[in-house]
Chain A
């Protein structure tokens, strides 16, 4: 089969997508060359230090807490049997269904002076009438909120890593005379450490990118600073310059995460392993383990959901026209973005696979970095991009900015990594022997992809679709900025209502978001159990 051009269609497509994805970021970085004005000088002198310090403490605090919660729970459920363990295994990821800003809104309401928590304490006569729990809208409060909603990343990744430790590994160590402690340090830790660090880096990036939660807590960080400069000082250029600084920091964390992930060494997928024996915990220890696992789920999921249900049912007219149209809009956007993202991921992975050139993989890796870019920043960059396209291509007055293209574009950039990871790992399980056989039997590339690979990748594609849907439903800042006329999503509704301190009205849409957020959790929990069930 002859190639007519030097580059095949697939490579050109991949290269174009890569270039396109890079443009919004480039436009933002371009602001660094526009000169720094008075506003930037003001920010530099007066508040930049505070933004940096807060962001720094936030990330450090959250990282420590998520490692503490995530690793210990993963350790407990993987190596021990105790009361409720079978439930905890999957329940521990539930908090992922709740985006940080919703948890922030709920906790604020609960821990308010006249909120549920204080009322409860007062009614139980545990405290005096005047007493109130410490204010939650602080740096400490923010650390707690982010930790409860993001620890599942660390839990998940650590658990998967722990499960890759095969019994023979530990047996060998024992046979070679290593004590339990030594085994831990020489065998277990090197395997799980990169996973823990990668998971934590992911959490750090999510934390740095958040806008809704930190704004609600009135915590001056980079994201709120960027927003404030843009709105309060009407200075987009300076805001983009600040955004560039944040991007730089995120880049460092991103490379750290990638480095750690590359250090992960798993045993080959599908290898039958001897069942790892879980030690049975007895008595008080069993209860303690259960309690430790229960608490994060309780605060990160059970409490917020119960409260939201209480608020939603306390008022009438929740299921109104606004809600219906917002839901429709939300799902429409999510489905469309999911289809496009999964499609692109499929093609790019296919391209990387058949042209096992370094460059194809690099491209894929490069655009995967999109998830690290805060939605707020993406939105600004994309707005600029669309305006340029407007002028170049359609001088007739066609307004693209009013349409959904920009928004979908933002979603695709943001969710690409998720989709890519899923499809990529699914692809890895498809042996390249199949490709070779197909080629020798005369199949061209298109046939290879559509007739042979596609059916084998069904799981990956479906999972990718659902994961992107859930990502998009939760997204806030980009949607706020890029949405067109008369077009609100559920997340936007929740944000606007919460900003007006109308949490009761925000409860129902918030619950819907969480409900959709549960879908991927179902799949993730299956993923957790999969290796185990080979032998059971």
Chain B
């Protein structure tokens, strides 16, 4: 409980929807460096937002740390974030990876790409593939992807709406869903396993999962499975592969505003960026830092520069569209 009037503890309260154990090390590093105590409450984006809504101006939250721009945009829309003032941050992060009024900032990137088993997918089929191609009938019963209730998919569809328009995206979605090898279930890792096991030929998942699996962190079975897979970066001939972010923002009623900004700056420091790259296998925001070797070996690729804040804008339409398309 936070009671005003007590002796202030030098702390920062982080509401996070990231669920990576590696983050704990980040927080510890931050405390070691700055002496600021880190308090965490974790939950899904929606749960955290509800909490903030109920807490109102009494909320002790300082930072919102999350994956997926959709989450950030929703918080922004709800008025829960305040503008970041730090010039350091603005200098480090390009405009398209920040909120319109700097309500939030990206600290890492991930791409949602196609994983395939080269033994069951020909070079012909996979060459220059695009997300749009996945609706074609030659992929019938060969595609796995997780549930539409997952934010990453909602953002993907939102970006399609931003680029193709809602009507075209809906047509695409219906055909895409009819190509599923099974009803959506499990998380991204589960989709990769399904392809490795021959249940499907291609899976759509985030890039960092292959890093985790190949590293052995998930166990021997996952390592073996991951080594069977290759990555195809979609839409290399036009706009580029769909990129999403991990990011953070300062909460509107933050009681420890300065500490909040310090924390975000810390996440963009070389040290933290390296940690993120090496532990959660994401792509760094700082251009001069290399991604983890396991990820780097899949090559560089063209990244979609669609403004990440569009994901949030089109999120509600995306969810309804996916419902109508029967994407469970």
Is A236 engaged at the interface, CB distance under 8 Å to the other chain? Answer: yes
CB of A230 within 8 A of CB of B194, answer no
- Does chain A have a CB within 8 A of B284? no
Interface residue from B40, B49, B54, B316 paired with A401 (Cβ < 8 Å): B54
The residue from B58, B185, B316, B323 contacting A46, defined by CB atoms under 8 A apart: B323
CA A137 to CA B186, docked complex, whole Å: 9
Mask, A392-423, CB within 8 Å of B = 1, is 00001111111100000000000000000000
What is the distance, in angstroms, from A334's C-beta to the closest C-beta of chain B? Answer: 21
Q: CB-CB contacts of A379-401 with B at 8 A, as 1s and 0s?
A: 01001101100110000111111
Cα(A130)–Cα(B47), bound, Å: 41
Closest chain A CB from B263 CB (angstroms): 16
Cβ of B323 and Cβ of A114 under 8 Å apart? Answer: no
- Residue of B149, B183, B189, B324 with most partner-chain A CB within 10 A: B149
Evaluate whether A113 and B44 lie within 8 angstroms (CB atoms) in the complex, with A217-B185, A390-B58, A485-B39 already known: no
Among B149, B183, B219, which residue has its beta carbon within 8 angstroms of that of A228?
A: B149
Categorize the interface residue count of chain B.
35 or more
**Complexed CA–CA distance, A230 and B316 (Å):** 12
* Nearest Cβ on chain B to A400's Cβ, whole angstroms: 8
Interface membership of A433, Cβ < 8 A: no
Verify if A456 is at the interface (C-beta below 8 Å from B).
no
- Measured in the bound complex, the distance between the Cα atoms of B187 and A231 in whole Å is 17
Give the distance in Å from the alpha carbon of A398 to the alpha carbon of B4 in the complex. Answer: 7
| B85 proximal to A (CB < 8 A) | no
Which residues from B are CB-within-8-Å of A218? 147, 183-186, 328
Q: B60 within 8 Å of A by Cβ?
A: yes
Q: Which residues of B contact A486 (CB under 8 A)?
A: 39-41
Q: With A397-B58, A399-B2, A399-B60 given, is the CB distance from A234 to B49 under 8 Å?
A: yes
Query: In the assembly, what is the distance between CA of A47 and CA of B47, in Å?
Result: 22
Report B1-39 CB contacts with A as 1/0, cut-off 8 Å.
111110000000100000100000000000000000001
**Within 8 Å CB of A230, what residues of B?**
46-47, 50
Chain A 464-502, CB-CB to B under 8 Å as 1, else 0, gives: 000000000000000011011110000000001001111
Instruction: Please tell me if the beta carbons of A113 and B50 are within 8 angstroms of each other in the complex.
Output: no
Cross-chain contact B1 with A402 (CB below 8 angstroms): yes
Q: Which residues of B contact A398 (CB under 8 A)?
A: 1-4, 58
Shortest A162–chain B CB gap in Å is: 41
The answer to whether A114 and B197 touch across the interface, beta carbons within 8 angstroms, is: yes
Closest A residue to B44 by CB, please name it.
A231
A296 within 8 A of B: no
Chain B residue at minimal CB-CB distance from A406: B54
Assembly CA distance A218 to B186 (angstroms): 8
> Chain A residues near B194 (CB, 8 Å)?
113
1/0 contact string of B113-145 vs chain A (CB within 8 Å): 000000000000000000000000000000000
**Quick one: which of A217, A232, A384, A500 has the most chain B CB within 10 A?**
A232
Q: Which residues of B contact A500 (CB under 8 A)?
A: 19, 187, 189
Q: Is B1 a contact of A231 with CB atoms below 8 Å?
A: no
Q: Is B258 an interface position by the 8 A CB rule?
A: no
B299 at interface, CB cutoff 8 A: no
B199 at the interface (CB under 8 A from A): yes
Chain A residues near B96 (CB-CB < 8 A): none
Q: Please tell me if the beta carbons of A401 and B55 are within 8 angstroms of each other in the complex.
A: yes
Minimum distance in angstroms from B118 CB to a CB of chain A: 19
B43 interfacial contact with A, CB 8 Å: yes
Task: Check A383–B1 contact: CB distance below 8 A.
Answer: no
Annotate A218-243 by CB proximity to B: 1 below 8 A, 0 otherwise.
Answer: 10100010011011111010000000
| Interfacial chain B residues near A224, Cβ < 8 Å | 149
**With known contacts A218-B185, A383-B51, A403-B1, A485–B219 Cβ distance under 8 A:** no
The A97-148 residues at the B interface (CB cut-off 8 A) are 113-114, 130, 132, 135, 137-138
Contact status B54-A386, CB under 8 Å: yes
Taking a contact as CB atoms closer than 8 A, the residue among A233, A391, A396, A481 that contacts B50 in the complex is A481
Kindly provide the distance from the CB of A243 to the nearest chain B CB, expressed in whole angstroms: 13
A231 touches B46 (CB 8 A): yes
Q: Are B186 and A501 in contact (CB under 8 A)?
A: yes
Q: Which residues of B contact A (CB under 8 A)?
A: 1-5, 13, 19, 39-41, 43-47, 49-51, 53-56, 58-60, 74, 78, 147, 149, 151, 154, 182-187, 189-190, 193-194, 197-199, 218-219, 221, 316, 319-320, 323-324, 328
Can you name 6 A-B residue pairings with CB atoms under 8 Å?
A234-B49, A398-B4, A401-B54, A402-B1, A484-B41, A499-B187
Among all A-B residue pairs, the 5 with the closest Cβ atoms: A231-B46, A397-B4, A387-B54, A218-B185, A137-B185
